[in-house]
Amino acid sequence: MKKLILGAALLAAILAACGGKKGVETVVGSWVMPIEGQPGKMQGIKLEEDGEASSINMATLQYKYWDQHGDKLFLTVKSIGNGIEIEGIDTLTIEKLTADSLVLNSNYGYTLRYVRQK
What one-character-per-residue DSSP string does 55-91 give? EES-TTEEEEEEEEETTEEEEEEEE-GGG--EEEEEE
- Interacting residues of 91 by C-beta distance below 8 A, sequence separation 6+: 72, 73, 74, 107
**H or E stretch including 100?**
none
pLDDT range class, residue 107, cuts 50, 70, 90: confident
Give, in order, the Cα–Cα distances in Å from 115 to each of 17, 38, 63: 29, 17, 18
Tell if the pTM clears 0.85, that is, is over it: no
Q: What is the pLDDT of residue 81?
A: 81
pLDDT tens by residue, 12-65: 333 333 333 445 689 999 999 999 999 999 999 999 999 999 999 998 999 999
Q: What is the pLDDT of residue 24?
A: 64
Q: What's the average model confidence in pLDDT over 89-105?
A: 97
Mean of the per-residue pLDDT values of the chain: 83
Residue 74 has pLDDT above 80, yes or no: yes
Q: What is the pLDDT of residue 29?
A: 97
pLDDT range class, residue 8, cuts 50, 70, 90: very low
